């Protein structure tokens, strides 16, 4: 099978702007993924046992349409990570998403979907103001049910991980730090390359870049 990947093209000056931050929305989306395929995430089984019975069904069903077990999910569900981003700010930002951005992101989800999932996404596209309100309400409901109870511990882990990555830049350089983030991440021809399973893409990201860390994708968390 031909290798698939996404290349993030960076200008020379962008490397100096790489920074770390925390995105509560990113954590929430990965929590939704863990719930859809728990067998793939044994480190999170302790957390799963604690939240399984309190998952809000309608909110989860909506997010399961937007955030599948793997692959693309809408960019508008997360914001650019910063050091001091708090959940309330990210939730409030969801209610201010421009129609154009929603239309593009939901269109990408529809293009990658079939059957009932595609029909559900097209239904959201038919009424963007209603979809925006539904998604923002579901985000908050899921946040308080799934992530908020463990957020203090999770945030400490995230910030500790950031400290380790920053120290690695100091001792070994940015390239070594990046390649240590995940076995699918590395440098290739001046671009940050992430190996994928479903498609290939080249993104022109010249401008401020960011790198986020999210234990729900595999690192131990306080629920394990």
| Exposure on the CB side of residue 147, measured as CA atoms within 13 A | 27
Give residue limits of the domains in the chain.
Answer: 4-217
Provide the 8-state DSSP code for 91. Answer: H
DSSP sequence for 10-63: --GGGGGG--EEB-HHHHHHHHHHHHH-GGG-GGGHHHHHHHGGG--HHHHHHH
pLDDT averages per 10-residue partition of the chain, 224 residues: 78 74 90 93 90 94 94 87 82 92 95 94 97 96 95 92 90 86 82 79 66 46 40
Report the pLDDT value the prediction gives residue 222, as an integer from 0 to 100: 42
Report the pLDDT value the prediction gives residue 213, as an integer from 0 to 100: 47
Tokens 């859809």 map to which residue?
36
Report the pLDDT value the prediction gives residue 3, as an integer from 0 to 100: 77
Query: CA–CA separation, 189 vs 11, rounded Å?
Result: 12
SS (H, E, C) 120-181: HHHHHHHCHHHHHHHHHHHHHHHHHHHHHHHHHHHHHHHHHHHHHHHHHHHHHCHHHHHHCC
pLDDT digits (tens, 9 = 90+) for 12-45: 777 777 778 888 999 999 999 999 999 988 988 9
Contacts for 124-127: CB closer than 8 Å, 24+ residues apart: 124/65
Query: CA–CA separation, 185 vs 192, rounded Å?
Result: 7
Report the pLDDT value the prediction gives residue 223, as an integer from 0 to 100: 36
pLDDT digits (tens, 9 = 90+) for 189-212: 778 888 877 777 777 766 654 554
């Amino acid at each position: 099978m031909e290798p698939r990947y996404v290349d993030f093209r960076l200008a020379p000056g962008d490397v100096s702007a790489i920074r770390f931050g925390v995105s509560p929305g990113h954590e929430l989306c990965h929590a939704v993924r863990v719930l859809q395929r728990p067998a793939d995430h044994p480190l999170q089984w302790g957390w799963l046992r604690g939240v399984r019975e309190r998952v809000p069904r309608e909110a989860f069903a909506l997010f399961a349409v937007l955030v599948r077990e793997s692959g693309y999910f809408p960019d508008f569900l997360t914001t650019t990570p910063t050091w001091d981003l708090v959940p309330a700010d990210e939730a409030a930002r969801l209610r201010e998403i421009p129609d154009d951005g929603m239309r593009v992101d939901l269109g990408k989800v529809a293009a990658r979907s079939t059957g009932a999932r595609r029909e559900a996404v097209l239904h959201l596209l038919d009424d963007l103001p209603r979809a925006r309100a539904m998604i923002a309400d579901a985000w908050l409901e899921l946040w308080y049910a799934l992530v908020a109870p463990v957020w203090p511990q999770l945030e400490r882990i995230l910030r500790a991980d950031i400290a380790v990555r920053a120290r690695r830049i100091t001792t070994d350089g940015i390239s070594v730090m990046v390649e240590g983030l995940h076995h699918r991440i590395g440098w290739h021809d001046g671009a940050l390359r992430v190996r994928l399973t479903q498609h290939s893409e080249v993104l022109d990201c010249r401008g401020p870049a960011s790198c986020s860390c999210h234990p729900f994708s595999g690192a131990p968390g306080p629920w394990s």
